[in-house]
Amino acid sequence: MSDNVGLSTPRGSGTSGYVQRNLAHIKPRDSAAPYPKDPDTFRHRQRQPDKGILEHDRKREIEVKVFELRDELEDQEVDEDEIEDRCEALRKKLMAEQERDNRRGGGPKRSLKMHQVHELADAKIKESERLRRALKISKDYEEGSHWKRQEERLQKAVDSEQPRADKD
């Protein structure tokens, strides 16, 4: 028996006498409130993509295509200077296409994987922007602002009625 824990001897108990900690034990929680009381924390905030990662992925995509061309030309045993010229021409062409797509606001036309979180966030922002424009919602729209304006109009009406009641 070690440290007064477990059996004094494992003989006849049907166990090895090895003492394990109780993994099913749930520790009591802190007494602090688990959720914030501030209503602004409940508002939806869209995940912002990291521009550096997006730019890196775009450049990497171009370089992969350039490398594939280089590999293909090396297999055909083309002269090294010719390979460099063709690779540079392809790189410039792909960068120009990408710039043109970026100016038009077009994102990737391929389906995105779940691990591409920055690309997904960027696509979601663009989709939300298109929807906002289609529904003609202003950029500075605040959720529930209609009710605030309605309440302000009602308060104005009550305030304007009050002086008349004082005069009577």
DSSP tag of 3: T
At 117-148, the pLDDT tens digits run: 888 888 888 898 999 999 998 888 877 777 88
At 31-78, the pLDDT tens digits run: 767 677 777 777 777 778 888 988 898 899 999 999 999 999 999 988
Say if residue 86's pLDDT is above 90: yes
- Which range is most confident: 4-13, 26-35, 127-136? 127-136
Residue 21 in domain: no
151 by Cβ neighbours in 10 Å (0-12 / 13-18 / 19+) ranks as exposed
The percent of residues in the chain predicted with pLDDT above 90, rounded, is 26
Say if residue 163's pLDDT is above 70: no
At 96-121, the pLDDT tens digits run: 998 888 777 665 566 777 778 888 88
Residue 163 in domain: no
Residue 18 in domain: no
Q: What pLDDT, on the 0 to 100 scale, is given for residue 99?
A: 87
Residue 155 in domain: no
Q: What pLDDT, on the 0 to 100 scale, is given for residue 100?
A: 87
Domain count, the chain: 1
Give the Cα separation of 162 and 154 in Å (integer): 12
Confidence of residue 82 (pLDDT cuts 50, 70, 90): very high
pTM as predicted: 0.51
Residue 150 in domain: no
CB 59 within 8 A of CB 95: no
Residue 114 in domain: yes
124 by Cβ neighbours in 10 Å (0-12 / 13-18 / 19+) ranks as middle
Residue 106 in domain: yes
Residue 87 in domain: yes
Q: Which domain holds residue 56?
A: 51-137
Q: What pLDDT, on the 0 to 100 scale, is given for residue 59?
A: 92
